[in-house]
C-alpha cells in the first residue's frame, strides 16, 4: 500500500503525518477488503492551486479544504477489484486551509491534515455525506480511522 505524496512549491507535511497517512490508508483498505497493493495519490497544495482545480473540475471558483477524485465506483458496496496494483484515486489538500481550520477548531494542523486525508480517502472508497444517515456513517468511520493513529477530535 502506498500513499504517494506530492507537494506544491515549498510545502510539505511532517514525517509523522506521512506515516500516519500510511497507517490510516492500510486500515481503511483492510476494513473494506481492498488489497493493500492499492495506491493513493495525495497532493498537498496552497489555496490558489486547489481553487484552480476546484474551478476546473467542479466549476466552483473558490478554494476548498479537500478534493477527492475516485477512480473506481462501488468499493464501499463490495465491488471486486482483483489483487493487482491499482490507483484508488487522488486526494488534494490545501495546507493553507488546513492551517486556518486547525485554528478555528482549536486543534493541531497535523490533526486537521489527517482529518482531511481521511475524509478524502472515504470519498475514494465510496462514502458520501449528502443525507443524514450517510453523513453519520462517514463521520463514524472518520473518527475510528483517526483514533487508530491517536488523532481524535478535541471536544
pLDDT at 152: 80
Rounded alpha-carbon distances, angstroms, from residue 73 to 2, 20, 58, 62, 88? 20, 25, 18, 27, 10
The answer to whether position 152 is within a domain reads: no
Average pLDDT, the chain: 89
Q: How many residues does the chain have?
A: 155
Please state, as a whole number, how many other Cβ atoms lie within 10 Å of the Cβ of residue 107: 16
pLDDT at 71: 87
> What does the alpha-carbon distance between residue 125 and residue 122 come to, in Å, rounded to a whole number?
5
What are 68-124's pLDDT values in tens digits?
999 876 565 555 555 566 789 999 999 999 999 999 998 999 999 999 999 999 999
Q: How far apart are the first and last CA of the chain?
A: 32
pLDDT category of residue 21 using cuts at 50, 70 and 90 = very high
What CATH number is given to the structural domain containing 78? 3.40.390.30
Q: What is Dmax (Cα atoms) for the chain?
A: 42
Predicted TM-score (pTM) of the model is 0.90
The answer to whether position 114 is within a domain reads: yes
The answer to whether position 97 is within a domain reads: yes
Highest average pLDDT, of 47-51, 78-82, 139-143, comes from 47-51
Question: Domain count of the chain?
Answer: 1
> What does the alpha-carbon distance between residue 13 and residue 125 come to, in Å, rounded to a whole number?
23
The answer to whether position 44 is within a domain reads: yes
Amino acid at each position: 500500500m502506498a500513499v504517494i505524496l506530492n507537494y506544491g512549491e515549498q510545502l510539505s507535511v511532517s514525517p509523522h503525518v506521512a506515516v500516519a497517512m500510511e497507517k490510516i490508508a492500510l486500515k481503511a483498505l483492510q476494513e473494506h477488503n481492498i488489497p493493500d497493493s492499492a495506491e493513493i495519490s495525495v497532493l498537498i497544495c496552497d489555496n490558489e492551486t486547489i481553487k484552480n482545480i476546484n474551478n476546473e473540475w467542479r466549476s466552483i471558483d473558490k478554494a476548498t479544504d479537500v478534493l477527492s477524485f475516485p477512480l473506481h465506483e462501488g468499493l464501499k458496496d463490495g465491488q471486486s477489484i482483483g489483487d493487482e496494483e491499482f490507483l484508488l484515486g487522488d486526494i488534494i489538500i490545501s495546507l493553507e486551509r488546513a492551517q486556518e481550520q486547525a485554528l478555528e477548531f482549536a486543534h493541531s494542523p497535523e490533526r486537521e491534515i489527517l482529518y482531511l486525508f481521511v475524509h478524502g480517502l472515504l470519498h475514494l472508497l465510496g462514502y458520501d455525506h449528502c443525507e443524514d444517515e450517510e453523513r453519520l456513517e462517514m463521520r463514524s468511520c472518520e473518527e475510528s480511522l483517526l483514533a487508530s493513529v491517536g488523532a481524535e477530535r478535541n471536544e
